[in-house]
């Protein structure tokens, strides 16, 4: 039997073909999970992702998709309600959706700030609150926040983004502390430089940026979305349930110095 057979997972930010969320969805599907894939305004890409996951999962698993703008109040709760009604249970919630706000400090607008907080922090917070009754009723679950190394270190133009990710790391710790008695295990993953589609395009436009980032990566290469997905699968499936409330940095050694 596959490791996630009979389990139901929600993965947000799951549409981009070369993104971390879609890589996580594929990895879960390979292990037999049923999935609700969520993103904002990318219905065709989500449909492709769901079809891909159905093919990987094989018989007995389902993959559905839904477009939600998680910056909108109530969207995170609606997402959980939909999954609960459709699948009857939710075993794994991966809060991966996020947006970047890159400006020099002093140049951020209130809308920049509000948008980043809404998607990167408020949506995981309220999605996690909404899933509690379902996970408690079924005897437990796993919640994984995809944070960032920028929640622990800093860089130019990242004040708002890093602040939201630092908040997400704290949220993982607070939730783990309060929810352990319900067998709801919460952890965070903090990726470093990963060669997603967005980063690949950025480096192609500004090669100097790629060289600058590589200088700090001891592995001398960018990470792959599949490497983040492997860690997410471990957290979703491991019987090492003493691991909780942790922020696991996976960055090729970037933060070792």
- Of 169, 147, 144, 137, nearest in space to 25 by CA: 144
The model's pLDDT over 98-128, given as tens digits with 9 standing for 90+, comes to: 998 888 999 889 999 999 999 999 999 999 9
Cα separation, 128 vs 131, whole angstroms: 5
Asked whether the beta carbons of 141 and 131 are under 8 A apart, the reply is yes
* Residue 31 within a domain: yes
Q: Tell me whether residue 62 is in a domain.
A: yes
Residue 2 lies in a domain: no
> Does a structural domain hold residue 3?
no
Domain membership of residue 29 (yes or no) is: yes
**Residue range 120-141, pLDDT digits in tens:** 999 999 999 999 999 999 999 9
pLDDT at site 185: 98
pLDDT, one tens digit per residue, over 9-27 is 999 999 999 999 999 999 9
Reported confidence tier of residue 156, pLDDT bands at 50, 70, 90: confident
Q: What is the CATH number of the domain that holds 134?
A: 3.40.50.720
pLDDT value, residue 210:
86
**pLDDT over threshold 90, residue 42:** no
- Confidence check: pLDDT of 1 > 90: no
DSSP characters for the chain? Answer: --TTTT-EEEEES---TTSHHHHHHHHHHHTT-EEEEEESS-HHHHHHHHHHHHHHH-TT--EEEEE--TTSTTHHHHHHHHHHHHHS---EEEE---------TT---HHHHHHHHIIIIIHHHHHHHHHHHHHHHHT-EEEEEE--GGGTS--TT-HHHHHHHHHHHHHHHHHHHHHGGGTEEEEEEEE-SB--HHHHHHHHH-HHHHHHHHTT-TTSS-B-HHHHHHHHHHHHH-S-TT--S-EEEESTTGGG-
Neighbours of 159 (CB within 10 A): 20
The number of folded domains in the chain is 1
- Determine what percent of the chain is predicted with pLDDT higher than 70: 100
Instruction: Answer whether residue 255 is part of any domain.
Output: no
Domain extent at residue 105:
8-250
Return d(Cα 26, Cα 15) in angstroms, integer. Answer: 11
Give the model confidence (pLDDT) of 185-233 as tens digits.
999 999 999 999 888 888 888 888 788 888 889 999 999 999 999 999 9
Asked if residue 208 belongs to a domain, the reply is: yes
Which residues are known to be catalytic? 161
Domain assignment of residue 256, yes or no: no
pLDDT value of position 251: 96
Count of Cβ atoms closer than 10 Å to residue 247 Cβ:
21
**Higher per-residue pLDDT: 205 or 32:** 32
Give 63-78 pLDDT, tens digit per residue.
Answer: 999 999 999 999 999 9
């Amino acid at each position: 039997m596959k490791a996630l057979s009979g389990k139901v997972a929600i993965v947000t930010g799951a549409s981009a073909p070369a993104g971390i969320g879609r890589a996580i969805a594929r990895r879960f599907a390979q292990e037999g999970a049923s999935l609700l894939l969520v993103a904002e305004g990318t219905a065709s890409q989500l449909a492709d992702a769901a079809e891909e996951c159905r093919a990987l999962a094989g018989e007995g698993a389902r993959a559905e998709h839904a477009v939600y703008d998680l910056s909108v109040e109530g969207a995170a709760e609606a997402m959980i309600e939909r999954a609960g009604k459709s699948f009857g249970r939710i075993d794994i919630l991966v809060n991966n959706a996020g947006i970047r706000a890159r400006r020099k400090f002093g140049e951020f607008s209130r809308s920049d700030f509000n948008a980043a907080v809404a998607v990167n922090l408020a949506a995981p917070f309220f999605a996690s609150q909404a899933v509690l009754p379902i996970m408690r009723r079924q005897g437990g679950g796993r919640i994984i926040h995809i944070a960032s190394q920028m929640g622990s270190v800093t860089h130019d133009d990242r004040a708002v983004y890093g602040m939201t990710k630092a908040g997400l790391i704290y949220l993982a710790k607070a939730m783990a502390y309060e929810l352990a008695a319900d067998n709801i295990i919460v952890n965070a993953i903090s990726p470093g430089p990963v060669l997603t589609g967005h980063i690949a395009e950025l480096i192609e436009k500004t090669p100097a940026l790629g060289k600058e980032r590589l200088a700090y990566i001891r592995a001398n290469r960018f990470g792959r979305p599949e490497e983040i997905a492997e860690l997410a699968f471990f957290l979703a499936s491991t019987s090492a349930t003493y691991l909780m409330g942790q922020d696991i940095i996976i960055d090729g050694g970037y933060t070792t110095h």
